[in-house]
């Protein structure tokens, strides 16, 4: 079972919905170790995406929809997360290329490109208490699942589960990137908001793929 434009648009709509539902939670997390706007930033961006999604032509490809998310997030979301999450979707769009259907290998390539794009832009490594702590284990789990011959929904489920664990894993950490890095040890005991929102988006990707 390959995944096409329906998966991507369902993923985007579900992401917008979960970000809206978790807006206050993300604001609260960011208030603890940042400036309290993360939920607001992403919700504004995804609301703008949803408006534009309806204007997408009927013959749009997965890459077209992903690119629309990227450009909209980059232009409407302030803060660190706009350019970073926007870059993730831009690199995912480039990885999807002109393909109409994505198999397991293509999905792994898409997730890997997204993660690598965030790393290139933000220079964070695993353990720096950023969204990379969700993205990187997700990519590793997806890669392993694909190598095991798992189906596309199973690959995305593995990625989502790993991203959630990754977000949890940021709680005991000191931050080395972003605003939370100014807090030193005071960031310990708080989950990184960007890792939480990335885990939500990766869960949406999996939910959209489940038969």
Q: Given the structure tokens 């769009």, which residue do they identify?
A: 93
Q: Looking only at residues 19 through 58 of this chain, which bind Mg ion when binding is defined by CB under 5 A?
A: 30, 34-35, 37-38
Distance CA 128, CA 5 (A): 34
Residue from the set 39, 45, 79, 86 that interacts with Mg ion by CB under 5 A: 79
* Residue 190 interface partner, choices ligand ADP, Mg ion, none, CB cut-off 5-8 Å depending on type: none
Residue from the set 3, 15, 27, 37 that interacts with ligand ADP by CB under 6 A: 37
Binding to ligand ADP by residue 131, rule CB under 6 A?
A: yes
Smallest gap from residue 183 Cβ to ligand ADP (A)? 12
Q: Looking only at residues 60 through 119 of this chain, which bind ligand ADP when binding is defined by CB under 6 A?
A: 79-81, 84, 118
- Using Cβ positions, the residue closest to Mg ion within the complex turns out to be 79
Asked if 200 and 138 count as a contact pair (C-beta separation under 8 A), the reply is no
* Residue 208 interface partner, choices ligand ADP, Mg ion, none, CB cut-off 5-8 Å depending on type: none
Written as one string, the DSSP assignment of 2-14 is -B-HHHHHHHHHH
Binding to Mg ion by residue 86, rule CB under 5 A?
A: no
Q: Candidates 10-18, 72-80, 95-103, 150-158 — which segment interacts with Mg ion by CB under 5 A?
A: 72-80
Site string for ligand ADP, 168-207 (x = CB under 6 A): ---------xxx------------xxxx------------
């Amino acid at each position: 079972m390959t995944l096409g434009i329906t998966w991507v648009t369902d993923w985007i709509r579900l992401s917008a919905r979960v970000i809206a539902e978790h807006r206050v939670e993300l604001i609260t997390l960011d208030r603890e170790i940042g400036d309290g706007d993360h939920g607001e930033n992403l919700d504004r961006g995804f609301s703008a995406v949803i408006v534009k999604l309806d204007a997408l032509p009927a013959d749009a490809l997965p890459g077209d929809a992903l690119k629309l998310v990227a450009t909209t997030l980059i232009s409407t979301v302030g803060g660190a997360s706009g350019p970073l999450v926007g870059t993730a979707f831009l690199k995912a769009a480039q990885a999807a290329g002109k393909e109409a259907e994505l198999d397991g290998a293509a999905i792994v390539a898409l997730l890997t490109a997204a993660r690598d794009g965030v790393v290139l832009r933000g220079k964070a490594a695993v353990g720096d208490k950023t969204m990379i702590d969700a993205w990187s284990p997700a990519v590793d789990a997806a890669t392993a699942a694909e190598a095991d011959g798992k189906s596309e929904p199973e690959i995305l489920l593995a990625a989502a589960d790993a991203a959630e664990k990754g977000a949890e894993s940021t709680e005991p950490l000191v931050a080395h990137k972003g605003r939370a890095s100014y807090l030193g040890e005071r960031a310990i005991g708080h989950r990184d908001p960007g890792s939480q929102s990335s885990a939500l988006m990766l869960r949406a990707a999996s939910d959209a793929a489940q038969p």
